[in-house]
């Protein structure tokens, strides 16, 4: 258990359901858990997959919540039957839950039943999943089995990608006690697409630990363009490389460093070579959070040329934009999804159309050349982050969405004592 008293400050014992924990690219999960723990929340983490990265951020060591890794291999028939019997002994499975289990993928159903055992034995009173995909599938099934309410945070791929099944997401939205999403754009999308099923969707921006991101005016910085993110289509790094080639052709002096790894690493490296950017653009590979802050905090400009991918996938609102703004690095980004909610053109940053390397080059050149413009945008950006994206404030907003806590905790069947 966490170090807070049972039930914590909220009166709840919250079970976070995550596809994989920890995940190098999902710093927002750790930030959120830490901020809620700082408020006294009693949290346990349940991961559906074992971590496969091997790289971990320094903040991970501060998380108090214990982690349980649910079995994720496909069970043999006898094991599945045994799990079903164990769950039914703890809490008889109702017809609605049984129907949903039978309709689910066998692995999802098995993990939901295993999670139901933990929820009942440990007195979990609320479940919260990140991403409306498999983690929410398991949380919803567990909720049907146990009667413990669930919520989830919808981000981007889980609502925009072509693989999203509308009927499945609609059921998750309708059955959740509440749903959190990371931008007003996402709220509008879900409401327009799913109508009354999305009536309990609330916007809560991802939070940032401001103490870890000290502000510094970008006056005397070297002509460095920084970019951070997975090397995948939606990040638009191919457009950034084309913009860099235009800047070189114009005689602009600068360097560009792109931090991250991903499926397009080889293609992007080859494109940089074809564009003659050797010595100008560097791919650093993935960096831990302190190195990311060092890179971004030293740059004259941060570039996030996000695009809507060919599969419909898009960023919701990249956390690294918030980090850059907090550090005092002015941002250039695109008019994709919720990004203009934080990068407000001419106020807190510069916004260009997606897939427009010439416009991106113009914006980057303007910031590289004009310290006064950099400082003005940077100060306004930091002020916005302080008002709207403080992790401590966001944690309070998440806690406020929880249902009233059970007076005496969830009923625990006598069969628990025999296990």
Instruction: Please tell me the predicted confidence (pLDDT) of residue 40.
Output: 96
- Whether 54 maps to a domain, the answer reads yes
**Does 199 share its domain with 221?**
no
- Whether 235 maps to a domain, the answer reads yes
Instruction: Please tell me the predicted confidence (pLDDT) of residue 91.
Output: 81
d(Cα 391, Cα 397) in Å, to the nearest integer?
10
Average pLDDT over residues 247-253: 98
Indicate the average pLDDT of the chain. Answer: 92
Average pLDDT over residues 362-384: 98
pLDDT digits (tens, 9 = 90+) for 110-144: 999 999 999 999 999 999 999 999 999 999 999 99
Q: Which residues of 42-70 are buried (b: 16+ CB within 10 A; e: fewer)?
A: bbbbbbbbeeeeeeebebeeebebeeeeb
Question: What range defines the domain where residue 29 resides?
Answer: 13-206+393-406
Residue 401 has pLDDT above 50, yes or no: yes
pLDDT digits (tens, 9 = 90+) for 28-37: 999 999 999 9
**Does 310 share its domain with 372?**
yes
Average pLDDT over residues 345-353: 98
Instruction: Please tell me the predicted confidence (pLDDT) of residue 86.
Output: 84
Helix axes 391-400, 27-38, angle to 10 degrees: 70
**Does 139 share its domain with 233?**
no
CATH number, domain of 303, equals 3.40.50.2000
Residue 366 has pLDDT above 50, yes or no: yes
How many structural domains is the chain composed of? 2
**Does 311 share its domain with 400?**
no
Instruction: Please tell me the predicted confidence (pLDDT) of residue 383.
Output: 98
**Does 92 share its domain with 23?**
yes
Tokens of 409: 């905790």
Confidence of residue 57 (pLDDT cuts 50, 70, 90): low
Closest CA to 13 of 49, 48, 37, 32: 37
**Does 29 share its domain with 84?**
yes
Instruction: Please tell me the predicted confidence (pLDDT) of residue 55.
Output: 66
CA distances from 94 to 100, 128, 141, 172, 241 (A): 10, 22, 12, 19, 56
Instruction: Please tell me the predicted confidence (pLDDT) of residue 68.
Output: 97
Tokens of 265: 């690493």
**Does 65 share its domain with 109?**
yes
Confidence of residue 6 (pLDDT cuts 50, 70, 90): low
**Does 296 share its domain with 318?**
yes
**Does 233 share its domain with 184?**
no
Percent of the chain's residues with pLDDT above 70: 94
- Whether 414 maps to a domain, the answer reads no
- Whether 8 maps to a domain, the answer reads no
Residue 73 has pLDDT above 90, yes or no: no
pLDDT digits (tens, 9 = 90+) for 321-343: 999 999 999 999 999 999 999 99
DSSP alpha helices (H): ranges in 161-317?
166-175, 184-194, 237-249, 265-274, 289-298
Residue 1 has pLDDT above 70, yes or no: no
pLDDT digits (tens, 9 = 90+) for 284-300: 999 999 999 999 999 99
Count of Cβ atoms closer than 10 Å to residue 411 Cβ: 9
d(Cα 322, Cα 316) in Å, to the nearest integer?
12
**Does 270 share its domain with 154?**
no
Instruction: Please tell me the predicted confidence (pLDDT) of residue 75.
Output: 67
CB 159 within 8 A of CB 189: yes
């Amino acid at each position: 258990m966490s170090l807070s008293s049972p039930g914590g400050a909220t009166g709840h014992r919250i079970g976070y359901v995550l596809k994989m924990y920890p995940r190098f690219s999902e710093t927002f999960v750790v930030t959120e858990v830490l901020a809620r723990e700082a408020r006294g929340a009693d949290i346990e983490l349940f991961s559906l997959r074992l971590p496969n990265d091997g790289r971990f951020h320094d903040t991970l060591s501060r998380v108090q919540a214990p982690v349980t890794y649910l079995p994720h291999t496909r069970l043999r028939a006898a094991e599945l039957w045994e799990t079903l019997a164990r769950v039914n002994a703890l809490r008889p499975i109702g017809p609605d839950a049984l129907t949903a289990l039978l309709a689910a993928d066998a692995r999802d159903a098995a993990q939901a039943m295993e999670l139901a055992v933990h929820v009942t034995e440990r007195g979990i009173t609320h479940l919260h999943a990140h991403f409306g995909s498999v983690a929410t599938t398991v949380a919803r099934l567990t909720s049907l089995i146990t009667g413990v309410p669930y919520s989830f945070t919808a981000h981007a791929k889980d609502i925009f990608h072509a693989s999203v099944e509308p009927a499945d997401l609609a059921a998750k939205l309708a059955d959740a006690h509440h749903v959190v999403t990371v931008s007003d754009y996402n709220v509008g999308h879900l409401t327009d697409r799913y109508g009354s099923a999305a009536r309990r969707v609330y916007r809560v921006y991802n939070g940032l630990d401001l103490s870890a991101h000290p502000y510094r005016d970008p006056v005397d910085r070297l002509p460095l363009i920084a970019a951070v993110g997975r090397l995948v289509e939606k990040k638009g790094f191919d457009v950034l490389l084309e913009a860099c080639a235009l800047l070189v052709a114009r005689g602009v002096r600068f360097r560009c460093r792109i931090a991250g790894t991903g499926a397009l690493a080889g293609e992007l490296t080859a494109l940089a070579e074809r564009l003659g950017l050797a010595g100008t653009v560097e791919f650093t590979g993935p960096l831990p959070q302190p190195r990311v802050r060092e890179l971004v905090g030293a740059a004259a400009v941060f570039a996030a040329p996000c695009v809507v991918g060919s599969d419909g996938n898009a960023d919701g609102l990249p956390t690294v934009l918030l980090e850059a703004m907090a550090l005092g690095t002015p941002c250039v980004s695109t008019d994709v999804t919720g990004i203009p909610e934080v990068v407000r053109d001419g106020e807190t940053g510069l916004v260009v159309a997606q897939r427009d390397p010439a416009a991106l080059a113009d914006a980057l050149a303007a910031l590289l050349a004009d310290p006064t413009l950099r400082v003005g945008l940077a100060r306004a950006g930091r002020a916005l982050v302080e008002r709207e994206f403080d992790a401590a404030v966001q944690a309070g907003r998440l806690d406020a969405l929880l249902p009233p806590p059970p007076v005496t905790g969830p009923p625990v069947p006598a069969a628990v004592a025999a296990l």
